[in-house]
Structure 1
Amino acid sequence: MLGGVKVLSARDVRRAVPMRTAVRAVREAFRELADGSFVLPPRQVFGDGKVLVMSAYHAPTGTAVVKTIGIALDQVPAIRATVVWTGNGTQLVAEGSSITTLRTGAVVGVATDLLAAADAERLTVIGTGAQAPDQVRAVVAARPIADVVLAGRSAERAERLAQELRAEFPEVRFTAGTEVDAAVADAQIICCATSSATPLFSVDALPEHVHVNAIGAFRPTMRELPRDLLADATTVLVDQREAAMEESGEIIDAVTSGTLTTTALVELGEALTTPPTPSGRTVFKSVGVGCQDWAIAAALEHSLHRVAG
């Protein structure tokens, strides 16, 4: 407690909001986003993407969240953030990196539940940084995953992450490696969580039926997905069209080249109201929007209020 303000650590966040709770909260937030319940100012970007500020106001409850993020891709951790949630007579200040990875995992859980095969058992995660564990947790919460391949530039780091996740999910088989094409060849679900400026694989390396989540590229100069995948996909889902066209290198490139039209993009909130019928290859591209942070912070506040009551 600091001057009447509750200050919460990453451990506090994790204890209060497990992944399944986060997925439910984020799903409901996107439904409300589609209904017009949120005011979402554009993300502010400073220093060529080194500092970001995101905010969201939830009109029905009069509550709001503001997140500041510092990004240094050459450091570990690469993301440092703080989330401030205000409303209902309460103000919370929470460690924001944990909220960022949790809400990013949660939105992938929502999208995966919409688009991946119901019996999907094989997951490949490309990238072994801070976002990777919550990508695994979210997909495991959404589908009966039995096998996970972790692919990264460092075999040692990939194996270290595999060991950590084996302890958390003893029923799942984890394999670590560095060969991306081999890692995606038999996948039913793929999660891309890197800062790559060039596509991670070719469309020819993918199975004919696969769902791909891409959350790592958040600048116009970054691209994890090949252009041909966006042209080939039966559904291209985004968290928000406006945000994708401002920040997603893959979407901007595909639209600019004429490979994709903005009308072909399906917003997540729309898909929750009218679920698509997935087939072949499907894609979810997320750059993150403020209602996700609000959803996790609101769930955190609700959990603390319940405990206090």
Structure 2
Amino acid sequence: MKSFSADQVRRAVPMAEAIRAVRQAFFDLQAGHFVLPPREVFGDGKVLVMSAYHSPTNTAVVKTIGIDLDRVPAVQATVVWTGARGQVVADGATLTTLRTGAVVGVATDLLARPGAIRLTLIGTGAQAADQVHAVLAVRPIEHVTIVGRDLTRASTLAAVLAHDYAEVLFTAGTSIDEAIGDADVVCCATSSSTPLFELSALPERAHVNAIGAFRPSMCELPLDLLADASVVVVDQLEAALAESGEIIDALAAGLPVEPVELGAALASPPAPRGRTVFKSVGLAAQDWAVTSLLA
């Protein structure tokens, strides 16, 4: 059995490799190579259990997660990957932020315009940094604005990231509307239960990633954005219909929203025009993909 701490996961898996692995996992999901049971949710979302089996390699992963949004860190988790070569046990919180960043990298590479240079990140929690790492891995970003309710936290995160990307300008603020007004890519990584901005504040060619809301009661995006977007991509339709407040509410309101699964979009890439959206609630196939790199 191999065991990986949070720091060891970071050292072993560069973001570019995580993006490559997660992209291939969605091709495999589209091809029917995964058995992917629905996520088990206990205690109103305070405890989650996720699992996936990959038939071509006869390997599986199980992740247990404890979530307390009033605690820092909010997520504590453990991942166990099992195959013929043995087992891998890894820090699940770090692996979750890494694989969530990676799927955003896959979606941004698919949907954002190639010349995107301005990124706005909304949120300063545990998921935030990997959102930036992922987008910078697939687009020539020159300016990153980090927005948070606490300017000190936003400024601290900006300073930490600036140390890693000397060629990129990092700024911090508290006004979402100001920060997204000229953004090419927007990443939402919050636990909000109400939309973070109005459609009118968003540029017409922006690509938006939303990964923070994972319960039906949570919502980061305005519903009219989903109706307005030329393409709305979700990680998996079944999961989105069960867990994404934005998708559930938009369809319940009768809005003309037709989500496309990421695997299908990768297999037959869309021709985006105007605004685009990627909504993720997270799949165990992503955990499998990144943990496989540790095996």
- TM bin (shorter chain): over 0.9
For residues 229-286 of structure 1, give each alpha carbon's deviation from its aligned partner in whole angstroms, at most 9, with x where no partner exists.
001000000000000000000000001111134xx11100001110000110000000
Which residue identity lines up with residue 8 of structure 2 in the other structure? D
Range 5-14 or range 50-59, more displaced: 5-14
Which residue identity lines up with residue 123 of structure 2 in the other structure? G
Structure 2 counterpart of 1:294: 288
User: How do residues 86-97 of structure 1 correspond to structure 2 at under 5 angstroms?
Assistant: 86-97=82-93
Matched, 1:156 2:142: no
| 280, 284, 296: which one aligns with 2:274 | 280
For residues 17-68 of structure 1, give each alpha carbon's deviation from its aligned partner in whole angstroms, at most 9, with x where no partner exists.
1000000000000000000000000000000000000000000110000000
| 2, 8, 12: which one aligns with 1:12 | 8
What is the DSSP-based 3-state SS (H/G/I as helix, E as strand, rest coil) of the residue aligned with 1:269? Answer: helix
Matched, 1:235 2:231: yes
Q: Which runs of 5+ in 1 are unaligned?
A: 302-309
What is the DSSP-based 3-state SS (H/G/I as helix, E as strand, rest coil) of the residue aligned with 1:175? Answer: strand
The number of aligned residues is 295
Which residue identity lines up with residue 143 of structure 2 in the other structure? D
Matched, 1:265 2:232: no
Which residue identity lines up with residue 275 of structure 1 in the other structure? P
Matched, 1:24 2:16: no
For residues 105-137 of structure 1, give each alpha carbon's deviation from its aligned partner in whole angstroms, at most 9, with x where no partner exists.
000000000000001000000001110100000
| 153, 161, 166: which one aligns with 1:165 | 161
| 39, 46, 49: which one aligns with 1:50 | 46
Matched, 1:256 2:272: no
Structure 1 counterpart of 2:72: 76
Q: CA deviation at 1:12?
A: 1.0
What is the DSSP-based 3-state SS (H/G/I as helix, E as strand, rest coil) of the residue aligned with 2:9? Answer: helix
Q: CA deviation at 1:90?
A: 1.2
- Runs of 4+ in structure 1 deviating by more than 2 angstroms, as ranges, are none
Task: Please say if residues 218 and 245 of structure 2, whose CA atoms lie closer than 8 Å, have aligned partners that are also in contact.
Answer: yes
Structure 2 counterpart of 1:135: 131
Which residue identity lines up with residue 35 of structure 1 in the other structure? A
Give the Cα–Cα distance (whole angstroms) in 1 for the partners of residues 209 and 4 of structure 2. Answer: 30
Q: CA deviation at 1:299?
A: 1.1
Structure 2 counterpart of 1:178: 174
Give the Cα–Cα distance (whole angstroms) in 2 for the partners of residues 281 and 122 of structure 1. Answer: 15
Give the Cα–Cα distance (whole angstroms) in 2 for the partners of residues 108 and 161 of structure 1. Answer: 19
Give the Cα–Cα distance (whole angstroms) in 2 for the partners of residues 260 and 139 of structure 1. Answer: 28
Task: Please say if residues 88 and 294 of structure 2, whose CA atoms lie closer than 8 Å, have aligned partners that are also in contact.
Answer: no
Q: CA deviation at 1:89?
A: 2.5
Give the Cα–Cα distance (whole angstroms) in 1 for the partners of residues 224 and 18 of structure 2. Answer: 32
Structure 2 counterpart of 1:124: 120
Give the Cα–Cα distance (whole angstroms) in 2 for the partners of residues 77 and 186 of structure 1. Answer: 32
For residues 194-231 of structure 1, give each alpha carbon's deviation from its aligned partner in whole angstroms, at most 9, with x where no partner exists.
00000000000011110000000000000000011001
Which residue identity lines up with residue 107 of structure 2 in the other structure? A
Which residue identity lines up with residue 54 of structure 1 in the other structure? M
TM-score by length of 2: 0.99
What is the DSSP-based 3-state SS (H/G/I as helix, E as strand, rest coil) of the residue aligned with 2:209? Answer: strand
Structure 1 counterpart of 2:108: 112
Percent of aligned pairs sharing the same letter: 66
Q: CA deviation at 1:88?
A: 2.2
Matched, 1:221 2:214: no
Q: CA deviation at 1:6?
A: 1.8
Q: Which runs of 5+ in 2 are unaligned?
A: none
Give the Cα–Cα distance (whole angstroms) in 2 for the partners of residues 117 and 287 of structure 1. Answer: 23
Structure 2 counterpart of 1:38: 34
Task: Please say if residues 36 and 51 of structure 2, whose CA atoms lie closer than 8 Å, have aligned partners that are also in contact.
Answer: yes
Q: CA deviation at 1:80?
A: 0.6
